[in-house]
């Protein structure tokens, strides 16, 4: 299993997860990487992402995995892909995977929210519970942000607040930083940026 670390920024942040999968599939084709296809009537490229990244969020170090049908040096894969990716996507490194994406438990996010202060956040976060509506497969559900957020820190900057959020991420439990933003700053005109910085396993070990 070959793991590929990449960055998603600039205009590429407006790609949805599905768009990104299509984009990477085509990039692997263009770069002539000997990537393995699934068997069956409707074969498609074997391609697994660590965790979907919502449209609009920057990914500082995201991952996907492929299987190879013949050997190719990691550095060659990196260079070939980087020569053919659209603006905002960049391969950081390529290596043999030593663990499984299923082990991902949490992720770090950095969120900037314009016009808000650390004090605003601390007041917001000091409430005993912070109920909010979350869209799930079963419909809308009420969740308690306070209980879901693993840890957080707020710092003032010139024109807003920067939140460092540690949130559950992965198959078992997941919380989008955008839900935090929408609950904290519900005005739809509020300008924000969000980035996912790192993934962690259950023991807090960085991916």
Where along the sequence are the contacts to another protein (CB under 8 A)? 10-12, 14-16, 18-19, 22-23, 25-30, 37, 42-43, 55-56, 84-88, 188-189, 191-192
First to last CA, the chain: 15
Compare residues 39 and 96 and give the one whose CB is closer to another protein.
39
Tokens at 4, concatenated: 């590929």
DSSP class of 14: G
Q: How far is the CB of 169 from another protein (least distance, A)?
A: 20
Q: How far is the CB of 56 from another protein (least distance, A)?
A: 5
Compare residues 28 and 175 and give the one whose CB is closer to another protein.
28
Q: How far is the CB of 171 from another protein (least distance, A)?
A: 26
Quick one: which of 47, 36, 53 has its CA closest to 194? 53
Compare residues 142 and 187 and give the one whose CB is closer to another protein.
187
Quick one: which of 204, 168, 202, 181 has its CA closest to 51? 168
Report whether 119 contacts 128 (CB < 8 A).
no
Compare residues 112 and 125 and give the one whose CB is closer to another protein.
112
Report whether 80 contacts 73 (CB < 8 A).
no
Q: How far is the CB of 4 from another protein (least distance, A)?
A: 16
């Amino acid at each position: 299993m070959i793991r590929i670390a990449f960055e998603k920024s600039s205009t590429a942040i407006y790609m949805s997860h599905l768009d990104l999968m299509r984009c990477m599939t085509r990039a692997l084709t263009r770069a002539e990487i000997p990537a393995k296809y699934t068997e069956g009537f409707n074969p498609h490229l074997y391609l697994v992402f660590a965790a979907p990244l919502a449209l609009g969020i920057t990914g500082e170090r995201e991952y996907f995995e492929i299987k190879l049908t013949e050997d190719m040096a990691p550095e060659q894969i990196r260079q070939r892909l980087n020569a053919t990716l659209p603006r905002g996507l960049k391969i950081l490194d390529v290596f043999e995977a030593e663990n499984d994406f299923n082990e991902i438990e949490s992720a770090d996010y950095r969120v900037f929210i314009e016009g808000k202060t650390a004090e605003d956040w601390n007041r917001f976060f000091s409430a005993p519970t912070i109920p909010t509506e979350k869209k799930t497969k079963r419909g809308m559900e009420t969740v308690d942000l306070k209980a879901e957020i693993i840890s957080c820190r707020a710092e003032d900057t010139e024109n807003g607040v920067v939140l460092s959020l540690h949130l559950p991420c992965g198959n078992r439990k997941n919380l989008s930083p955008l839900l935090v933003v929408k609950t904290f700053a519900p005005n739809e005109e509020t300008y924000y940026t969000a980035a996912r910085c790192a993934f962690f396993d259950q023991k807090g070990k960085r991916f």
